C-alpha cells in the first residue's frame, strides 16, 4: 500500500504543462498530492442566495464583458456581468484584459472568489473561473493553492483520480485512542477535506487531520528524545572542586537565574543523553557567562568547545570577553572568521586539530570543511535563530554528536516553547545582573526633537555615549545608504558639532567597521551613527542613549534587541524613538516597546500581532512544514496532541510512527534541532 503512495506521478500521463506545474508545487508523489489540501472552500450557490463576505462559486451566462483603464492609474479593470435565474453579479478582474476576449456574451461561466454587496449590486473578485463547467449542485468547492500552469479544477480532478490511495495511509494513533476520540477515520478525512459533503463533514475532517498531524510530530519527537536519552557516550564528570575552580574565573557572583541554569546544564552534561538545550534571556542577561561555565566543564573533561556567532562583530566580542575571563588561566581561546590570511588560518586549524586550542570562537567559517577538531564536546550557538538547521547540524557534525547549547535573545513565548520543545530543554534567564536599571523609553514627536537633542547633549557632556540608529530597508541600496551617510553628516556638523561622531554601515569592510566600533567603545567617539549592524553584539557599558530614526520600520523583536545595547552600565539609560507610524500596527508596536522592557511580554505581543508565520524561532526550528495544522491558529490542538502523546506513550506503535513520518515528511523531517 505504502508503495502506491510513494510512487511518482509519471504513470498518470498528465502532460508537460501540468507536470511542470506540479513540480513547481513540489508535488512529486501520490502522497504529496493527497497532502496538498485546499487552502479554502468556495460555497457553490445561486446569485440570489449570496451573503456578503462569503467566498462563493456561482455559475451564470455572460451578459457583457468590457475592459477599461481605471482612472488615474495604470490598472486595467475588466468587468464581466453574469446572470442566473436568481439575479446578476459583476465579476471584476484586474490587469487581465485578455479575459474580456474569452468570457464572451452567451457563454456559461463559473466564477469563484470573495463576494461583496455594495451600491445595490453584487460583485465578485474571482480567484478562479471555468467556462462551461460540469454539474454545479450546491455544496463546497475546494480551492487549491496554485501556480502558473494549472487550474484549481485540474488539481481537484487529479485528487479525485488518486483519492482511493488514501485507504493505504496508516493511522499514527493507537487504536483505542482513535476510537475514544471518535475521530473521523484517516481515509474518510482525506476524502472529506478534498471534497466535502457538507460543512459538518468538513469540520470533522480537518479536526481529525490536524490532530493526527500534531500527534505524529509529538510522538516522533518523543521517540528521538528517548533514543538520545539512553546515549551514554559523552558523560561529563562534575564535582565540587571543578565547580569552585570554574566559578573563580568570573569577576562577579552569578545571579540566581544564572546559577539555576548552570545547575540545569550540569545535570544535562553529567547524565545519559546529549544536551540539547535552548537558553533564552534578554541581551545582557549573562548568557555568555553561563555558556563559558558549560565550556569549562567540557574542557575539564578533556573536550574542546566551539562558540559560533552569526556576525563577525559578535564573534570578535565573544572572543574578547572569553579571553578576558580566562586571562589568568591556561585555557587557550582562538578566533576564526572569514577572510583571514591563509597562513594564519592554517596555523589555527592545525592547533585546533591537535588539541592545542581549547575553545574556538567564530562565525559560519567554523563549519567550513577545513575546520577539524581533536575532540569537540560542546557547541555553543549564539543567536541560534540566525542560523539555518543545516548550519547548526554542520557544526555538530564536527564532533561525535557533541552537546549543544543554543542561545537566543529573541524569546519564544513560554506557552509556545513548552509545546514545541517540551519544558525540560528550555532554560530562561529572567533576571539582569545587579546594578542595571530599566531603560526609559520614549516615543518623541517631531516637534519635541530639539528638546530631546538638548537632553542627549546633557548626557554626552556627563560622560555618556549615544547610538543613533538609522534603519535601511536594504543595506545594499546605494540611495538609501546615501541618506544614512547624510544623516550622520547632519549629526556631526549641525546637531552635535561639539561632539565626535562616527558611522558604521553594512557596506563598510569588516576592518573599518571594527575600527569605528572600537573607537566608540574606547570613548574616542561620543556618538555612533549606525544602520542595523549593532543589532546583535557590541557591549559598551558607557553607552546610555539610543535614538532610533524611522522606528516604525522595525519589528518588536528588533526594537527590543536594539534597546538591549544600552542599559548595560550604572547610569540611567534612554531610548528615544523617532518616526511617523502610518499603520495601526506600527503605532501599537511603538506603544508596546514604550510600555514594557520584559522580553517575554514583548514576544507574546509580537506573536499576537504578526502571527506565527513570521516567527523567528520557529521558521528555523527544523520542524517540517505542516500539511493541515497551523502552529498559530491550532495551538489548542497542538497542546492536546502533546499531552495525549505523553499519556499514550506505552501504546504507541513505534514502527508505525516512523513509517508515517517517512511517508508524510520524508527527509524534511528533522526533529526539532533546537
Where does residue 651 rank: exposed (0-12), middle (13-18), buried (19+ CB within 10 A)? exposed
CA atoms of 76 and 587, how far apart (whole Å): 34
Nearer to ligand ADP, 87 or 433 (CB): 433
Minimum CB distance to ligand ADP, residue 376 (Å) = 21
**Residue 283 sits in the site that holds ligand ADP (CB under 6 A):** yes
Q: How far is the CB of 564 from ligand ADP (least distance, A)?
A: 7
Least distance between ligand ADP and beta carbon 53 (Å): 48
Binding piece for ligand ADP, criterion CB under 6 A, among 141-149, 198-206, 247-255, 336-344 = 247-255
The DSSP code for 110 is: E
Residue whose CB is less far from ligand ADP, 196 or 281: 281
For residues 392 and 575, give the distance between their C-alpha atoms in angstroms, rounded to a whole number. 34
Residues from 309 through 348 that contact ligand ADP (CB under 6 A): none
Residues 392-451 that bind ligand ADP (CB under 6 A): 433
Shorter beta-carbon distance to ligand ADP: residue 231 or 253: 253
Considering only residues 5 to 34 of the shown chain, the ones binding ligand ADP according to CB under 6 A are none
Q: How far apart are CA 205 and CA 209, in angstroms?
A: 6
**Cα separation, 96 vs 77, whole angstroms:** 8
| Residue with Cβ nearer ligand ADP (59 or 288) | 288
Q: Which residues neighbour 583 within 8 Å (Cβ) at sequence distance 6 or greater?
A: 552
Pairing assessment for the beta strands 304-308 and 376-381 based on DSSP bridges: parallel
Q: Which is nearer to ligand ADP, 337 or 429 (CB)?
A: 429
- Selected range binding ligand ADP among 282-290, 302-310, 329-337, 581-589, rule: CB under 6 A: 282-290
Q: CB 160 → ligand ADP: shortest distance, Å? A: 56
CB of 283 to ligand ADP, least distance (A): 5
Site for ligand ADP in 486-515 (CB under 6 A): none
Angle at 589 between CA 587 and CA 594, to 5 degrees: 95
Nearer to ligand ADP among residue 167 and residue 539 (C-beta): 539
Report CA 310 to chain centroid distance, whole Å: 15
Alpha-carbon span 6 to 20, nearest angstrom: 19
DSSP 141-168: EEE----TT--HHHHHHHHHHHGGGGGG
Q: Considering only residues 36, 44, 287, 403, which one is a binding residue for ligand ADP as defined by CB under 6 A? A: 287
Min separation Cβ 535 and ligand ADP, Å: 13
Please report whether residue 247 would count as binding ligand ADP according to CB under 6 A. no
Closest CA to 237 of 314, 310, 296: 296
The residue from 89, 289, 349, 547 that contacts ligand ADP (CB under 6 A) is 289
Identify whether the C-beta of residue 304 lies closer than 8 Å to the C-beta of residue 376.
Answer: yes
Nearest distance from residue 359's CB to ligand ADP, in Å? 15
Rule CB under 6 A: which of 250-269 touch ligand ADP? 252, 254-255, 258
For 12-36, b/e burial (b = at least 16 CB within 10 A) is bebeeebbebbeebebbbbbbbbbb
Listing DSSP states for 43-73 in one string gives EE--GGG--TT-EEEEEEEEEEEEEEEPTTS
Report in angstroms how near the CB of residue 384 gets to ligand ADP at its nearest. 12
Residues in the chain: 674
DSSP-derived secondary structure letter, 611: -
Q: Tell me which stretch binds ligand ADP (CB under 6 A): 283-291, 416-424, 442-450, 555-563.
A: 283-291
Among 116, 539, 542, 632, binds ligand ADP (CB under 6 A): 539
Of the CA atoms within 13 Å of residue 71, those in its CB half-sphere come to: 0
Decide whether 283 or 416 has the Cβ nearer to ligand ADP. Answer: 283
Q: Does 286 bind ligand ADP (CB under 6 A)?
A: yes
**Distance, CA of 402 to CA of 275 (rounded, Å):** 8
**3-class DSSP state of 91:** strand
C-beta closer to ligand ADP: residue 184 or 360 = 360
**Closest CB 156 distance from ligand ADP, rounded Å:** 52
Q: Minimum distance from CB of 636 to ligand ADP (Å)?
A: 33
Alpha helices in 335-421 (DSSP H): 342-354, 389-396, 414-421
* Least distance to ligand ADP, CB of residue 284, Å: 4
Q: What is the enclosing helix (H) or strand (E) of 512?
A: helix 510-522
With beta carbons less than 8 A apart as the criterion, state whether 664 and 32 touch: no
Nearer to ligand ADP, 283 or 378 (CB): 283
CB distance 194 to 140 below 8 Å = no
Site for ligand ADP in 588-607 (CB under 6 A): none
Position among 281, 377, 402, 581 found at the interface with ligand ADP (CB under 6 A): 281
Q: Which of 288, 311, 357, 427 touches ligand ADP (CB under 6 A)? A: 288
- If the CB atoms of residues 286 and 629 are measured against ligand ADP, the closer one turns out to be 286
> How far apart, in Å, are the Cα atoms of 34 and each of 29, 634, 664?
9, 21, 10
d(CA 250, CA 246): 8
Q: Find the shortest distance in angstroms from Cβ 288 to ligand ADP.
A: 3
What's the min distance (Å) between Cβ of 19 and ligand ADP? 51
Q: Which stretch binds ligand ADP (CB under 6 A): 45-53, 105-113, 223-231, 286-294?
A: 286-294
169 Cα distance to chain centroid = 31
Which of 284, 377, 471, 567 binds ligand ADP (CB under 6 A)? It is 284
Q: How many residues contact ligand ADP, by CB under 6 A?
A: 14
- Residue closest to 80 by CA, chosen among 49, 109, 117: 109
**The one segment of 91-99, 189-197, 249-257, 543-551 that binds ligand ADP by CB under 6 A:** 249-257
List interacting residues with ligand ADP (CB under 6 A). 252, 254-255, 258, 281, 283-289, 433, 539
Amino acid at each position: 500500500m505504502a508503495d502506491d503512495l510513494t510512487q511518482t506521478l509519471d504513470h498518470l500521463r498528465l502532460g508537460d504543462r501540468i507536470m511542470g506545474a506540479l513540480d513547481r508545487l513540489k508535488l512529486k508523489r501520490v502522497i504529496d498530492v493527497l497532502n496538498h489540501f485546499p487552502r479554502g472552500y468556495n460555497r457553490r450557490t445561486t446569485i440570489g442566495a449570496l451573503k456578503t463576505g462569503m467566498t462563493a462559486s456561482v455559475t451564470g451566462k455572460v451578459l457583457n464583458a468590457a475592459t477599461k483603464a481605471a482612472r488615474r492609474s495604470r490598472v486595467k479593470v475588466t468587468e464581466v456581468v453574469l446572470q442566473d435565474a436568481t439575479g446578476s453579479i459583476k465579476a471584476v478582474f484586474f490587469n487581465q484584459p485578455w479575459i474580456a476576449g474569452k468570457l464572451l456574451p452567451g457563454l456559461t461561466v463559473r466564477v469563484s472568489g470573495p463576494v461583496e454587496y455594495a451600491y445595490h449590486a453584487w460583485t465578485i473578485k474571482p480567484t478562479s473561473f471555468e467556462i462551461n463547467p460540469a454539474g454545479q449542485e450546491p455544496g463546497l468547492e475546494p480551492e487549491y493553492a496554485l501556480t502558473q500552469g494549472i487550474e484549481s479544477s485540474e488539481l481537484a480532478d487529479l485528487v479525485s483520480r488518486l483519492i482511493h490511495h488514501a485507504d493505504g495511509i496508516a493511522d499514527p494513533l493507537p487504536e483505542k485512542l482513535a476510537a475514544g476520540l471518535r475521530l473521523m477515520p484517516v481515509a474518510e478525512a482525506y476524502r472529506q477535506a478534498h471534497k466535502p459533503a457538507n460543512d459538518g463533514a468538513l469540520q470533522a475532517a480537518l479536526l481529525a487531520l490536524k490532530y493526527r498531524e500534531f500527534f505524529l510530530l509529538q510522538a516522533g519527537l518523543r521517540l528521538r528524545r528517548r533514543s538520545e536519552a539512553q546515549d551514554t557516550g559523552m558523560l561529563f564528570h562534575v564535582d565540587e572542586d571543578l565547580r569552585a575552580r570554574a566559578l573563580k574565573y568570573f569577576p562577579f557572583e552569578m545571579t540566581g537565574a544564572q546559577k539555576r541554569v548552570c545547575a540545569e546544564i550540569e545535570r544535562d552534561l553529567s547524565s545519559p543523553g546529549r544536551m540539547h538545550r535552548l537558553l533564552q534571556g534578554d541581551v545582557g542577561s549573562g548568557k555568555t557567562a553561563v555558556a563559558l561555565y558549560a565550556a569549562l566543564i567540557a574542557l575539564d573533561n578533556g573536550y574542546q568547545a566551539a562558540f559560533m556567532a552569526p556576525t563577525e562583530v559578535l564573534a570578535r566580542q565573544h572572543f574578547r570577553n572569553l579571553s578576558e575571563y580566562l586571562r589568568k588561566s591556561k585555557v587557550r581561546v582562538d578566533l576564526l572568521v572569514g577572510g583571514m590570511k591563509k597562513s594564519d588560518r592554517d596555523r589555527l586549524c592545525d592547533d585546533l586539530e591537535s588539541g592545542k586550542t581549547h575553545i574556538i570562537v567564530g562565525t559560519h567559517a567554523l563549519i567550513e570543511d577545513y575546520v577539524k577538531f581533536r575532540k569537540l564536546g560542546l557547541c555553543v550557538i549564539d543567536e541560534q535563530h540566525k542560523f539555518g538547521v543545516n548550519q547548526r547540524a554542520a557544526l555538530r557534525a564536527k564532533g561525535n554528536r557533541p552537546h549543544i547549547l543554543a542561545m537566543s535573545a529573541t524569546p519564544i513565548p513560554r506557552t509556545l516553547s513548552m509545546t514545541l520543545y517540551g519544558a525540560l530543554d528550555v532554560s530562561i534567564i529572567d533576571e539582569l545582573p545587579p546594578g542595571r536599571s530599566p531603560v526609559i523609553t520614549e516615543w518623541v514627536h517631531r516637534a519635541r526633537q530639539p528638546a530631546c537633542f538638548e537632553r542627549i547633549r546633557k548626557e554626552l557632556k556627563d560622560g555618556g555615549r549615544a547610538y543613533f540608529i538609522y534603519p535601511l530597508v536594504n543595506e545594499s541600496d546605494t540611495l538609501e545608504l546615501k541618506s544614512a551617510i547624510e544623516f550622520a553628516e547632519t549629526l556631526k556638523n549641525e546637531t552635535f558639532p561639539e561632539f565626535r561622531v562616527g558611522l558604521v554601515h553594512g557596506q563598510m569592510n569588516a576592518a573599518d567597521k571594527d575600527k569605528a566600533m572600537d573607537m566608540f567603545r574606547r570613548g574616542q567617539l561620543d556618538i555612533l551613527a549606525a544602520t542595523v549592524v549593532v543589532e546583535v553584539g557590541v557591549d559598551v557599558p558607557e553607552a546610555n542613549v539610543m535614538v532610533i530614526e524611522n522606528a516604525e520600520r522595525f519589528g518588536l523583536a528588533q526594537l527590543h534587541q536594539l534597546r538591549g545595547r544600552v542599559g548595560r552600565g550604572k547610569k540611567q539609560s534612554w531610548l528615544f524613538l523617532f518616526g511617523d507610524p502610518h499603520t495601526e500596527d506600527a503605532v501599537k508596536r511603538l506603544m508596546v516597546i514604550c510600555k514594557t522592557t520584559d522580553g517575554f511580554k514583548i514576544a507574546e505581543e509580537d506573536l499576537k500581532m504578526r502571527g506565527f508565520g513570521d516567527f523567528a524561532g520557529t521558521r528555523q526550528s527544523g520542524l517540517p512544514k505542516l500539511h493541515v495544522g497551523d502552529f498559530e491558529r491550532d495551538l489548542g490542538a497542538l497542546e492536546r496532541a502533546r499531552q495525549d502523546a505523553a499519556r499514550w506513550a506505552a501504546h504507541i506503535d513505534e514502527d508505525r510512527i516512523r513509517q508515517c513520518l517517512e511517508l508524510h515528511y520524508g527527509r524534511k523531517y528533522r526533529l526539532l534541532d533546537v
